[in-house]
Amino acid sequence: MTTATDFDGDMAAREMQRGARERWFARINRSALYLNVIGLGWLVPLMKMAAGDNPRAQLKELWQQLVIPLIGIIAFIALWATFAPTVKTSLGAIPGPVAVWGETVNLYHDHVAEREKAAAFYDRQEARNAKLEASGKADSVKWRDYTGKPTYLDQIITSLKTVAVGFIIATIIAVPVGIFCGLSRSVSGALNPLIQIFKPVSPLAWLPIVTMIVSAVYADVSDALPKSLVISAVTVTLCSLWPTLINTSLGVASIDKDLMNVSRVLQLPTWKTITKLVLPSSLPLIFTGLRLSLGVGWMVLIAAEMLAQNPGLGKFVWDEFQNGSSSSLAKIIVAVLTIGIIGFLLDRLMYALQTAFTYSANR
Amino acid sequence: MRLAAGALALGLGSGLTASSALADMLDVEKDELKFGFIKLTDMAPLAIAYEKGYFEDEGLYVTIEAQANWKVLLDRVITGELDGAHMLAGQPLAATIGFGTKAHIITPFSMDLNGNGITVSNEVWEMMKPNIPVGDDGKLVHPIKADALKPVIAKFKSEGKPFNMGMVFPVSTHNYELRYWLASGGINPGYYSATDISGQIQADALLSVTPPPQMPATLEAGTIHGYCVGEPWNQQAVFKGIGVPVITDYEIWKNNPEKVFGITAEFAEKYPNTTLALTKALIRAAKWLDENDNANRMEAVEILSKSEYVGADPEVIANSMTGTFEYEKGDKREVPDFNVFYRYYATYPYYSDAVWYLSQMRRWGQIAEAKDDAWFKEAAAKVYRPDIYLKAARMLVDEGNAAEEDFPWDSDGYREPTSDFIDGIPYDGRKPNDYLTKLPIGLKGQQTIDGTSIVGG
């Protein structure tokens, strides 16, 4: 009897253990989805091994997901370090990874130094205003923003802000127009030639037109939204709205005809049809479009900033090219890597949003 | 009150915070300003006025921003995106008389004297070298005349190849200096006409626009065979080993006027105190740059080499900023006045300087029709504003920030006639038409360009 109870107890314990493990795995599998989204998918096999899964299978997975990409990166850096010094430009050899890392650190120190200068500026301003107040001229006290140069980090933030504004405008235009194109063949027929013609236009060609029009229209400039930012952002809009527009109309047009017929039978009002039916079923494609748009927008932004000398990473690159100092090339390479990494992160961000908002298998 | 403030200023000295002038600070109408500049060493007064706190002393919060090229800079000043800028002397003049663009721009402050050079590619240099006389010391005789370039251009022509040269803007100092040098050696740099603004009518050497910092890259790419530009872009060519500076503008015209600080007439009218305040700050900066026999120049070089200003390596900038100039690699010569910011009344906006630029615009057909001497005088007085300058200078003297003898108080705005040119032709700012007739190549009298030929006169 006791043995039976013991056995039962054993069973129960093992059962419980298995249950716990299964729950662990379920949790890991669920988080795997999110980890994949943010590019940390290689953590999954590690966690599974920690939870006691078969190490062999997981090691293979780890090899695929972590080691092979790492080999790629290391091989790239090795090739870069070997061949860069052999190319002699008029500004000296192309900087290798070490020089570029050194420049990254320099840029950060620059940033810190500039912040210190800003603090000194505010101190001086405070002293001046205190003096004014003491001498009874309180009405001429003024508080002004720091006037120094934007640092590299500031430039990154400016660029991100600009692309965000441009992308949001593009989305606001492209999604509704795309929906109408998808719903009505006549609208689509009317807009299609325009889309085909404007889609391939380069940002550099848009820029002069945009500059003139924005300068003419945007008269009351606010500090939060300087003209240069608007010009870059609108250029980004013009180049990046097409993928969203095309994908949205494609998504809407390919909705199951039966579904549309049901809505007709139920006599759903247009607004309801769009929000309850059209949008949910075309969301995956809309998101695909948005992801492409954001990628294009980020790429275009740098070109626009370079040409128009609008603040941001593009201006940074152009200024360094013009400076032609011995550290310029390394700084430009830092910018290139930054642009790449931020572009990648933006794409991941959109992917994460897509995962969060769509339920179809079409991820 | 003013005297007291001046005494206080003297007592306290002027450090970075120098709030000495505080008690007497001008009541500026606009205190947040944005100034543009092109990456050239002669923007130094702007950088110094900022870094040394002179703008802040005057109650101005100034942001300084590099611009892509001269056209963008000018357009931004006209539209008001920039409150003022480091400009080519020809820009306010041309804009005011309506060549290229139409806007009334004035200058209360001339930024510097000299500071440019003409560079040719290594290939052209090798072809020029045999034509240049060698002195007793075994070195080439300077200044090098364009005569040495003439056979090179003839050779290019006989092979059916165009001889291209770069300058920075159609109304730039550099365009006129390059043209002056070429013409003095019998090379026709080409004319402008009302219908053809390429400036290449009858040209032996084809001049076109390239923004200053891109000059070395364009030369390296082989698009141009030489250029005229400000520093550090001539020394950069030496450092990169891609070209050889043959002559500085100091040798073309000793102590010639260079950049000016330009603001719109509207700005000066709307914000008179701000205009005075910024002029004061700039004069102080210029003074600092030349103080104690250029003692501050190395510090200035360090400031200019920061990436937000000129950004080139300090040693490249120092080459010309500290009184030397390196011609062919290793041939470094003393040119103590290569770039003057304060001596010789460098910052005073002389009408005669303006008239010289206008005379060159007429000479090359940018001013298509003949104008009488009175017109030149009037146009110069519209743009150059010594009245504002002297008012600012008076305040600085009263505050103890400048000396009485630093300024030409009694000048009528015209420098003494001079013949310090490479070809020795005398120039009197009061008689521009007379001057034009003495120049061998160029429009004179009633001459105009019709199609591709000179008519009338």
Question: Is residue B72 pLDDT above 70, yes or no?
Answer: yes
Q: Report the pLDDT value the prediction gives residue B12, as an integer from 0 to 100.
A: 40
Question: Is residue A360 pLDDT above 60, yes or no?
Answer: no
Question: Is residue B213 pLDDT above 50, yes or no?
Answer: yes
Q: Tell me: the pLDDT tens digits for A22-59?
A: 888 888 887 777 777 777 777 888 888 777 777 788 88
Interface test with B, best of A309, A321, A328 (most B CBs within 10 A): A309
**A132: which chain B residues are within 8 Å (Cβ-Cβ)?**
22
Q: What is the mean pLDDT of chain A?
A: 85
Pairing type for strands B243-248 and B61-66 reads unpaired
Q: Tell me: the pLDDT tens digits for A254-293?
A: 888 888 888 888 888 888 888 888 888 888 889 999 999 9
Percentage of residues of chain A with pLDDT beyond 70: 95
Sequence-distant (6+) residues with CB within 8 A of A236 are A162, A163, A165, A166, A167, A170, A203, A297, A300, A301, A304
Q: What is the mean pLDDT of chain B?
A: 89
Would you call A32 helix, strand, or coil by DSSP? Answer: helix
**A215: which chain B residues are within 8 Å (Cβ-Cβ)?**
79
Grade residue B13 by pLDDT with cuts at 50, 70 and 90.
very low
Would you call A115 helix, strand, or coil by DSSP? Answer: helix
Answer yes or no: do B19 and A131 touch at CB < 8 A: yes
Question: Is residue B17 pLDDT above 70, yes or no?
Answer: no
Q: Report the pLDDT value the prediction gives residue B9, as an integer from 0 to 100.
A: 41
The conformation of residue B65, written as its DSSP 8-state character, comes to E
Q: Tell me: the pLDDT tens digits for B135-147?
A: 888 888 989 999 9
Q: Which residues of chain A have a Cβ shorter than 8 Å from any chain B Cβ?
A: 90-91, 124, 127-128, 131-132, 135, 140, 142, 144-145, 147, 149, 215, 227, 307-309, 318-320, 322-326, 328, 331
Nearest CA-CA partner of B355 in B388, B325, B379, B334: B379
Q: Are B242 and B220 in contact (CB under 8 A)?
A: yes
**B307: which chain A residues are within 8 Å (Cβ-Cβ)?**
319-320, 323, 325, 331
Whole-structure pTM value: 0.80
Question: Is residue B5 pLDDT above 50, yes or no?
Answer: no
Answer yes or no: do A322 and B39 touch at CB < 8 A: yes
Give the type of residue at A350: M
Grade residue A243 by pLDDT with cuts at 50, 70 and 90.
very high
Stronger pLDDT, A316 or B15, i.e. the higher one: A316
Give the type of residue at B229: V
Grade residue B16 by pLDDT with cuts at 50, 70 and 90.
very low
Answer yes or no: do B19 and A128 touch at CB < 8 A: yes
Q: Which residues of chain B have a Cβ shorter than 8 Å from any chain A Cβ?
A: 16-17, 19, 22-23, 27, 31-32, 39, 50, 53, 56, 61-63, 66-68, 72, 79, 81, 213-214, 216-217, 220, 236, 240-242, 305, 307-308, 310-313, 316
Mean pLDDT along residues B273-289:
95
Could you report the predicted ipTM of this complex, rounded to two decimals? Answer: 0.70
Question: Is residue B381 pLDDT above 70, yes or no?
Answer: yes
Query: How far is residue B255's CA from residue B114's CA, in Å, rounded to a whole number?
Result: 6
Q: Report the pLDDT value the prediction gives residue B11, as an integer from 0 to 100.
A: 38
Sequence-distant (6+) residues with CB within 8 A of B128 are B120, B144, B148, B149, B152, B246
Stronger pLDDT, A216 or B1, i.e. the higher one: A216
Where is A148: in which H helix or E strand? none
Mean pLDDT along residues A171-181:
93
Mean pLDDT along residues A163-190:
92
Q: Report the pLDDT value the prediction gives residue A6, as an integer from 0 to 100.
A: 59
Q: Report the pLDDT value the prediction gives residue A4, as an integer from 0 to 100.
A: 52
Q: Tell me: the pLDDT tens digits for A130-152?
A: 888 888 777 777 788 888 888 89
